[in-house]
Structure 1
């Protein structure tokens, strides 16, 4: 069994964000299922994929996005054969757990599982680099009687035993337990040995009751433990008369040929996509995270810990900023010069003009060093220097008479034209500097596919004369289950034609200090499946710009943190909200005002109310380029928000 590497990356499907670690879980489950499949084929044992896995295979050929397990179904007769052979056939890293072979395994569902936490390198690789325990559960199908009275009697007996089992949690001396025991023994004539564990006896007795109607010709089957609580859960036996192979993640697995009747009996309209169920224990591996980290001393799963330092940033001055400040300084020097003229301080004027010319020459040399020869800015600086020199000459000639005071009024009047000429030069210089040194916006997508979330914004900015866009695809790495880096990938050649692509090796952030950097990968080192080159972590990038912007590469369905149906979606927000890039960025543009509220709710849960309040100013719900021309939260709104920020 081989899954392509792209299978394991985070994605959004049916409006639901699927983190890469869930993909690895799916991969591990498929590996176990493939082992089960081989055993069943070898021993001619029938089984069928079930539940969410069957729905996903039928609907899309994939897992349901919000599902995190695989179940299979077996008739009791096939399960008994499977039980006899499975332990000898499974690879050493897998175990088979079942009440039928282990009396203290207190579950009516058998399971094949990889119990290893962390894991050896070879095992991790085999199981999709998934470091947690993982299972495939087996649902056992027993026959139902066509006699309603018999089924009602079976249900009552099972309910009595379940009540006794639940009452055991309060202690065998409790009143509830004694009443449950009295009912079970008096009303249903159950007897229990005092020398054997009562819990073992209860499970064994219920397991016997499940099988009572097998072989008696019933036309319906069920998983009896479910049927006790959900009487309508009954499946037509003839739907399983033939087997049909269907694809799940491009792997063929058996399903009942009448899967439509099976799924309709269990789910009704199973084509309707429903996310209901809430978070509850989703994803189930959460219960193992602390144990894994304690065992491996944080080697396996890195968890981002927020620090208020992440909200602080150094102030950066790039060449453009310094150039504009220099022009402003020239205006200030010009004002000082004008004051000296008006005050008839001609020696001071000469000194000021000399200084102004020296500063202009230094500025021109810096521009040539940065941009090379032939820029408009340098040409205007030369004109400015000539105007300064002419003015210097005019004032110097007056000084040769030996007395500046004589005719000073006439001199001031005669300098009006030269002064206006200098001001014109400064205005031209300001315009030339703005043109030669445009605001530089650097886009750092890692994936050609994810460039779609930025492309309309890039297109809009390319039309702006005062903005220079640089598209710099950055490399990314796959990661092993224990955090080690694997293959490196670079997709620069795969980006759409017509865009000038800059080689990331040829761009020096410490020299360029761009006005704005835009990222759509906020994870730094905290995505367990892949990471960008560490030089492009948000924690590094904010050292080189005053404006770091995060624009998510995806859109999801709207998420209401208070809605039970959105429970799993809200849980998964931790994989793209409580990550460094969001906190390091000076602006994050999300798909809507509603999603902004969801982001802030997740941040509040993660870092507290005060931090959520601070982040409120750094998150915009303007929209997403992926929403196209959608009124109110599409491309126009994103472009407008970005330009206002820039």
Structure 2
């Protein structure tokens, strides 16, 4: 197999996203570019130069439709989700290119290809339910610990001990993931509540309830993808002065993987 360059990985991710976009337009599924991809679209009209992935978000209702039906739309790109495959180790979806293979440093329990991440947005009751939210954080950390490779040489003794303890907790990851997803859906009938990406509780951005009423096309490299019309508000919440570039020492990719072409 041929190892793929960073530029080749970026091109594949763009092609995946174009297919996702076309599917969503055809089926009436709402999505938006998110996080570093949203920032890249506004500040760079494409990828952040030192970034190498694409993130999308969908309201839970649209996310559920997407993960159930996207694989009927094409053969090359495949959506992976815990809801459709209990062996899948994450609580958010990935759309992969099945003609590629990914080797990750962080996990080796599930075979992936070059991917685009899709995060579901659920209803969030702000600070009124602290115990519920702290339970989410704890569960997410335990699930991540069970998925992640155990690499003792790269961590402190205490972190090694905690990670090993999480690995040996006598509860299957599937049970924890089922509980986690049940918890994050708890408030989804409350239409008056805002949205939040609860699949990753560390992402602190809260989206106003009507955020997905207005989306628009935004240039991204040689394509156009959908973005929330209130992207300035969202980016300011996440990054502050988002037009200001970070120091040079922080302009690095945080992903550690190698990708290969299967063909």
The answer on whether the counterparts of 1:245 and 1:252 sit within 8 Å (CA) in structure 2 is yes
User: Aligned Cα RMSD in Å?
Assistant: 3.1
Using the TM superposition, give the Cα deviation of residue 207 of structure 1 relative to its aligned residue in structure 2, in angstroms.
0.8
SS in structure 1 at match of 2:200: helix
Partner of 1:111: 94
Q: C-alpha offsets along residues 370-400 of structure 1, whole Å, 9 cap, x if unaligned? A: xxxxxxxxxxxxxxxxxxxxxxxxxxxxxxx
Distance 1:210 1:251, change over 3 A: same
- Partners in 1 of 2:48 and 2:206 — Cα distance? 23
Q: Residue in 2 aligned with 1:551?
A: none
Query: Residue 69 of structure 1 aligns with which residue?
Result: 53
How many corresponding residue pairs? Answer: 234
Tell me the residue number matched to 1:161: 139
Q: In structure 2, do the counterparts of structure 1 residues 163 and 279 end up closer, same or farther at CA, with 3 Å as the change threshold?
A: closer
Map Cα deviations across residues 172-193 of structure 1 (whole Å, 9 max, x no partner): xx99469977xxxxxxxxxxxx
**Residue correspondence of structure 1 range 135-534 to structure 2 within 5 A:** 135-146=115-126, 148-150=127-129, 152-162=130-140, 164-165=142-143, 176=165, 198-227=172-201, 229=202, 232-274=204-246, 276=250, 278-282=252-256, 284-285=257-258, 288=259
For structure 2, the 5+ residue unaligned runs are: 102-111, 151-162
> RCO greater where, 1 or 2, for CA within 8 Å and sep 6 or more?
2
Question: What SS is found at the alignment partner of 1:224?
Answer: coil
Tell me, which stretches of 5 or more residues in structure 1 are unaligned?
Answer: 1-19, 119-131, 182-196, 296-481, 483-646
Q: Secondary structure at the match of 1:137?
A: strand
Contact 1:167 1:180 in 2 (8 A): no
Distance change (3 Å), C-alpha of 1:198 and 1:208: same
Tell whether 2:70 aligns with 1:98. no
Aligned mates of 2:143, 2:44 — CA distance in 1:
41
Structure 1 or 2: more strand by fraction? 2
Output one character per residue of 1:580-607: Cα deviation in whole Å (capped at 9) or x when no partner.
Answer: xxxxxxxxxxxxxxxxxxxxxxxxxxxx
User: Contact 2:124–2:196 at 8 Å: present in 1 too?
Assistant: yes
Judged with a 3 Å threshold, the aligned counterparts in structure 2 of structure 1 residues 272 and 178 are, in CA distance, closer, same or farther, namely closer
Report the CA distance shift for 1:250/1:76 in structure 2 as closer, same or farther (over 3 A).
same
Shift of 1:250: 3.5
* 1:219–1:238 contact (8 Å) kept in structure 2: no
- When normalised by structure 1's length, the TM-score is 0.33
When Rg is computed on C-alpha atoms for both structures, the one with the higher figure is: 1
Match status 1:24 vs 2:2: no
Closer/same/farther in 2, CA of residues 262 and 200 from structure 1, 3 Å limit: same
**Aligned-residue offset at 1:163:** 5.5
2:159 — aligned with what? none
Q: CA offset at residue 71 of structure 1? A: 0.9
- The C-alpha deviation readout for 1:327-371, integer Å capped at 9, x for no partner, is xxxxxxxxxxxxxxxxxxxxxxxxxxxxxxxxxxxxxxxxxxxxx
Indicate the residue corresponding to 2:104 in structure 1.
Answer: none
Native 8 Å contact 1:103 1:204 kept in 2? no
Question: What is the CA–CA distance in structure 2 between the aligned matches of 1:167 and 1:48, rounded to whole Å?
Answer: 29
Change (3 A) 1:178 1:139: closer
**CA distance in structure 2 between the aligned counterparts of 1:226 and 1:109, rounded to whole angstroms:** 9
Deviation of 1:266 (Å): 1.6
- By percentage of residues, which structure has more helix? 1
* Cα offset, 1:159, TM superposition: 3.6
Query: How far does the alpha carbon of each residue in 1:482-524 deviate from its partner, in whole angstroms, 9 at most, with x for none?
Result: 9xxxxxxxxxxxxxxxxxxxxxxxxxxxxxxxxxxxxxxxxxx
Pair 1:177–1:264, CA change in 2 (3 A)? closer
User: CA–CA distance in 2 between the matches of 1:247 and 1:279?
Assistant: 22
C-alpha distance in 2, partners of 1:167/1:23?
Answer: 31
Give, in whole Å, the separation in 1 of the partners of 2:214 and 2:67.
23
